[in-house]
């Protein structure tokens, strides 16, 4: 495949591939469910979380998006984890859209599953953008916010994030 624009046609023309993806999703969800049960059996207060990348977005490392191929699905994973992390490294409008999409999918299967949206706080991001990214995620149903690449933050970015608490 040369790109994700081929996915819909590929799935229509090769139904076996869609079946394989559904099987992968069931296997991953089953694994997470068993893992959660094992963890809770050892220490009940521990939480299990999983990080997902929206299905058609380029990753933070500029790789081609393949979350759909890895069988990442908010709807299938929400019942078997405590928190789903949604990694969105784009502008506020995309953060809002992808947060709403994630929240709707989570609500469809387990509204009690927490949603933590991770926004970019590095690279071309500027301190004055942080508040709008957080508002975009919170306004569309994020329970919490993570700031990706915290190890790359300069003093101005840390100050902008810290100011959000007040």
DSSP strands (E only) in 42-91: 49-52, 83-88
- C-alpha 57/C-alpha 63 separation (Å) is 9
Report whether 32 contacts 83 (CB < 8 A). Answer: no
The secondary structure element, H or E, covering residue 20 is helix 15-42
pLDDT one digit per residue (tens) for the chain, 166 residues: 455 566 677 778 888 888 888 898 999 999 999 999 999 999 999 999 998 876 555 544 455 555 666 678 899 999 999 999 998 888 899 999 999 999 999 999 999 999 999 998 887 888 899 999 999 999 999 999 998 776 778 888 889 989 988 5
Residue reference for tokens 């405590």: 82
User: Could you give the angle at the alpha carbon of 158 between the alpha carbons of 59 and 52, nearest 5°?
Assistant: 25
Q: What is the pLDDT of residue 47?
A: 94
Q: What is the pLDDT of residue 11?
A: 75
What's the CATH fold of domain 4-163?
A: TIM Barrel (3.20.20)
Q: What is the pLDDT of residue 76?
A: 93
Q: What is the pLDDT of residue 27?
A: 93
- pTM for the whole structure: 0.84
């Amino acid at each position: 495949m040369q790109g994700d624009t081929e996915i819909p046609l590929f799935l229509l023309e090769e139904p076996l591939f869609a079946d394989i993806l559904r099987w992968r999703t069931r296997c991953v969800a089953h694994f997470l469910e068993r893992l959660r049960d094992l963890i809770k059996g050892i220490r009940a207060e521990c939480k299990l979380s999983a990080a997902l990348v929206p299905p058609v977005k380029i990753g933070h490392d500029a790789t081609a998006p393949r979350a759909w191929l890895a069988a990442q699905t908010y709807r299938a994973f929400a019942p078997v984890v405590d928190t789903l992390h949604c990694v969105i490294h784009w502008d506020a409008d995309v953060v809002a859209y992808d947060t709403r999409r994630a929240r709707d999918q989570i609500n469809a299967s387990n509204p009690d599953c927490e949603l933590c949206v991770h926004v970019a706080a590095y690279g071309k991001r500027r301190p004055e953008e942080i508040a709008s990214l957080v508002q975009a995620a919170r306004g569309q149903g994020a329970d919490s916010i993570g700031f990706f690449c915290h190890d790359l933050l300069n003093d101005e970015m840390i100050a902008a994030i810290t100011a959000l608490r007040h």
